Structure 1
Amino acid sequence: MSEFRKCARTAEAAMRSVFPATPLQLNAHLSARFDADIWLKREDLTPVRSYKLRGAFNAMRKLRVSAPDQTIFVCASAGNHAQGVAYMCKHFDVQGVIFMPVTTPQQKIFKTQVFGGDNVEIRLVGDYFDDTLAAAQTYCSEAGAAFLSPFDDEDVIEGQASVAVEISNQLGSAPDHIILPVGGGGLSAGVRSFFGHSTHYTLVEPEGGMSLAAALETGAPVSLAHVDGFVDGAAVARIGDKTFARLSDMNLSDVLAASEDRICATMLEMLNVEGIVLEPAGALAVDALVDVADQIRGKTVVCVTSGGNFDFERLPEVKERAQRYSGVKKYFILRMPQRPGALRDFLETLGPEDDIARFEYLKKSARNFGSVLIGIETSSPQNFEALFRRIEQAGMTYTDITNDETLGQFVL
């Protein structure tokens, strides 16, 4: 057994004094859909609803041995890492200073404080994470505190590998195929280092933050010029140096991109069909099943659902994006004659399953035509073909703006 595997097993055993192993559940719905044995490793069911407390636990556990006088631990995070660190500060009865951006939602600040209690101090610094990180690192230098990286640390990677230890124990062997989400790379580096070549890997990144794919293409970690922050648990601009060292021999074809809108459809499916609440990053592995359907047929597959810290205030946005992805909701600008009866003419073009979700019109004087912003929901994408044909036959013109990102920022 390799030294890494021994250390990962030691870390996993030590964790049992803090929280139980998360379930590995055979999912009948997904198994039937993809003609495979699909198991979900439910990291969304840890005490902080993500796997992040594993790495935080292992890093703090080892520091308390190597530097017993170290009593102040620091992190910079707006999400799951902050909650994991806070939980472990309370467990080890040490002090934690957690730096979060000023823009962090109040719900995340509240949960972090609840997990850490009197053992943590939260400092809101900077509008952007880079500013928050710089402040945390400056504080560490001045106060002699220990900085806990969210992913780019060997002890953190080792702690995240405890997920693989549990899968091995629960399944009795390595799965044929394992699907993992990737942000900074701590989870994927740890699991892959534990299982080695005994299983096939699919790593999934959000389309708006493919830092691992970029690093594989160039041969070294690079910083992305732009990151879409919707999948906040995995939207990382630069893969870690240490994590990339463990992932650098991945085949680029096994690193997939998941569109943010499709992830929303997967989140809703898991919520409505299975009653499982996943955050966007937590749904990445399940979302990728459709991309590897031909590879996994008849095999034993594990999807790691990495987190369930979902703020239900975001549910309307998730539903909106899911509907647009599936093609059952569209927005368009209708050019309509400014005459009595024109609105009635448009309404008569609607089919029995077409529902108006949005309608904005302001009559302009001295104009023959006016523009109307319309949102339509329907039961099938094919209904729009018939609707647009009827609109044209009625002598009206339209512009579909559903996928226009620039207009969407202002009107959708």
Structure 2
Amino acid sequence: MTDFMTQARAAEAAMRDVFPPTPLQKNAHLSERFGADIYLKREDLSPVRSYKIRGAFNAMRKQQDQQLFVCASAGNHAQGVAFMCKHIGVKGVIFMPVTTPQQKIQKTRIFGGENVEIHLVGDYFDDTLAAAQEWCAREGGHFLSPFDDADVIEGQSSIAVEIEAQLGRAPEHVILPVGGGGMSAGVTSWFGDRVHSLYVEPAGGACLRAALKAGRPVSLDKVDTFVDGAAVGRLGQRPFEVLKDVPLPDVIALPEDRVCATMIEMLNVEGIVLEPAGALAVEALGDLRTWIRGKTVVCVTSGGNFDFERLPEVKERAQRYSGVKKYFLLRLPQRPGALKEFLGILGPEDDIARFEYLKKSARNFGSVLIGIETKRPENFSDLFARLDAAGMAYTDITNDETLAQFLI
């Protein structure tokens, strides 16, 4: 057994003084759909509802003489550090992006109590990270990286230690969400070549794919923060050293709207609350159908810190991605009966979700923003055919991101 595996096993054993192993649950719904034995490693059921407590615990237990810890986090690492600060009785200074969901900020305060102070700095994680490192260099304390730290990576590897013990063997595939790469590096280091590891990142924060293409970690020009738990603009250097030989086909970048569909499905069908990053591994199953059929697969559901005030946005994104909701601009004649004529064109499963005149001053025509929800995506082909036949001019703006920012 390598030194890393010995240390990972020791870290996992030490964690039992703080929290029990998270469940490894076979999911009948997903197993039937994909013709495989699909297990969920429920990191969303840890004391802080994410795996981040593992890395924080392991790094902090190795710094027993340290009384001040400083970290930067999009939310989950912050909660892990805050939990451990209160547990062992030390002080923590935690930097979080201004855009962090309120649920994560509030839980960090609850977990840390009087042992932590929180600074909201920057719109993006990388700005927050820079601010935290500057503060730490100026004021002192031990900076605890959320992913680019050997002890943190070792702590995250305890996920793999538990999986193998709970399953009684190594699975054939493990699907890992990727942010900065700490958890992926830890699990990959434990399983090595014994397991086919697959990596999933949000399309708006695909830093692992960028690093593999460049041969080194590189900073993304732009990051979509919707999948906040994995919205990292640059892969960590230490994780890259572990992951640098990962084949590009083993890395999947998923559109943010597509992840929303899985969040809604897991909530409605299974009663499982997942944050966007926590749903990445489950959603990736659809891209891996031919690889995983008949195999044993573990999806790491990395977090469940979801603010339900975001649910309308998640539902909206899921509907638009699945094709059952569309927005379009309709050029409606300014004459009596025109609106009634349009309403008569709608099908029996079509429902108006939004109707707004954008321009009321035109003499002959008016522009109308219309949102339509329906039960089946193919209903829109029939609707648009009827609009064409009636001579009504319209423009589908559902996927026009520029217009959507202003109108939807």
**Counterpart amino acid of residue 96 in structure 1:** G
Cα deviation for residue 46 of structure 1 reads 0.2
State how 1:19-34 maps to structure 2 within 5 Å: 19-34=19-34
User: Hey, what does 1:12 align to over in structure 2?
Assistant: 12
TM-score w.r.t. the length of structure 2 is 0.98
The answer on whether the counterparts of 1:73 and 1:147 sit within 8 Å (CA) in structure 2 is: yes
User: d(CA) in 2 for partners of 1:258 and 1:362?
Assistant: 34
User: Hey, what does 1:186 align to over in structure 2?
Assistant: 182
Cα deviation for residue 122 of structure 1 reads 1.5
- Aligned-residue CA RMSD in angstroms? 1.2
User: Hey, what does 2:278 align to over in structure 1?
Assistant: 282
User: d(CA) in 2 for partners of 1:167 and 1:198?
Assistant: 13
Once the two structures are superposed, residues 364-411 of structure 1 have per-residue CA deviations (whole angstroms, 9 ceiling, x without a partner) of 345211111000000111111111111111121100000000000011
| Change over 3 Å in CA distance of 1:282–1:362 after alignment to 2 | closer
Q: Which runs of 5+ in 2 are unaligned?
A: none
Once the two structures are superposed, residues 219-257 of structure 1 have per-residue CA deviations (whole angstroms, 9 ceiling, x without a partner) of 111101011111110111100000000000101100011
User: d(CA) in 2 for partners of 1:105 and 1:260?
Assistant: 16
User: Hey, what does 1:71 align to over in structure 2?
Assistant: 67
User: d(CA) in 1 for partners of 2:125 and 2:281?
Assistant: 25
Report the more deviating stretch, 108-117 or 12-21: 108-117
User: Hey, what does 1:177 align to over in structure 2?
Assistant: 173
Once the two structures are superposed, residues 135-158 of structure 1 have per-residue CA deviations (whole angstroms, 9 ceiling, x without a partner) of 322222233200000000000000
**Counterpart amino acid of residue 304 in structure 1:** V
Cα deviation for residue 361 of structure 1 reads 1.3
The answer on whether the counterparts of 1:73 and 1:145 sit within 8 Å (CA) in structure 2 is: yes
- Equivalent residue in structure 1 for 2:340, among 338, 344, 353: 344
Aligned residue for 1:208, secondary structure, equals helix
The answer on whether the counterparts of 1:72 and 1:97 sit within 8 Å (CA) in structure 2 is: yes
- Equivalent residue in structure 2 for 1:404, among 397, 400, 404: 400
User: Hey, what does 1:327 align to over in structure 2?
Assistant: 323
User: Hey, what does 2:47 align to over in structure 1?
Assistant: 47
Once the two structures are superposed, residues 171-218 of structure 1 have per-residue CA deviations (whole angstroms, 9 ceiling, x without a partner) of 111101110000100011000000110011110010111110011111
State how 1:3-402 maps to structure 2 within 5 Å: 3-64=3-64, 68=65, 70-361=66-357, 364-402=360-398
User: d(CA) in 1 for partners of 2:358 and 2:195?
Assistant: 60
The answer on whether the counterparts of 2:359 and 2:368 sit within 8 Å (CA) in structure 1 is: no
Aligned residue for 2:17, secondary structure, equals coil
TM-score w.r.t. the length of structure 1 is 0.97
Report the more deviating stretch, 356-365 or 312-321: 356-365
Cα deviation for residue 99 of structure 1 reads 1.7
**Counterpart amino acid of residue 110 in structure 1:** Q
The answer on whether the counterparts of 2:351 and 2:373 sit within 8 Å (CA) in structure 1 is: yes
Cα deviation for residue 62 of structure 1 reads 0.7
Cα deviation for residue 132 of structure 1 reads 2.8
User: d(CA) in 2 for partners of 1:128 and 1:297?
Assistant: 39
Q: Which runs of 5+ in 1 are unaligned?
A: none
Report the more deviating stretch, 90-99 or 44-53: 90-99
The answer on whether the counterparts of 1:338 and 1:363 sit within 8 Å (CA) in structure 2 is: no
User: d(CA) in 2 for partners of 1:103 and 1:44?
Assistant: 21
Report the more deviating stretch, 192-201 or 388-397: 388-397
Cα deviation for residue 362 of structure 1 reads 5.3
User: d(CA) in 1 for partners of 2:134 and 2:219?
Assistant: 22
The answer on whether the counterparts of 1:211 and 1:222 sit within 8 Å (CA) in structure 2 is: yes
The sequence identity of aligned pairs, in percent, is 75
User: d(CA) in 1 for partners of 2:190 and 2:336?
Assistant: 72
Cα deviation for residue 101 of structure 1 reads 3.0
Aligned residue for 2:205, secondary structure, equals coil
User: d(CA) in 2 for partners of 1:393 and 1:408?
Assistant: 27
Aligned residue for 1:223, secondary structure, equals coil
The answer on whether the counterparts of 2:97 and 2:124 sit within 8 Å (CA) in structure 1 is: yes
**Counterpart amino acid of residue 49 in structure 1:** R
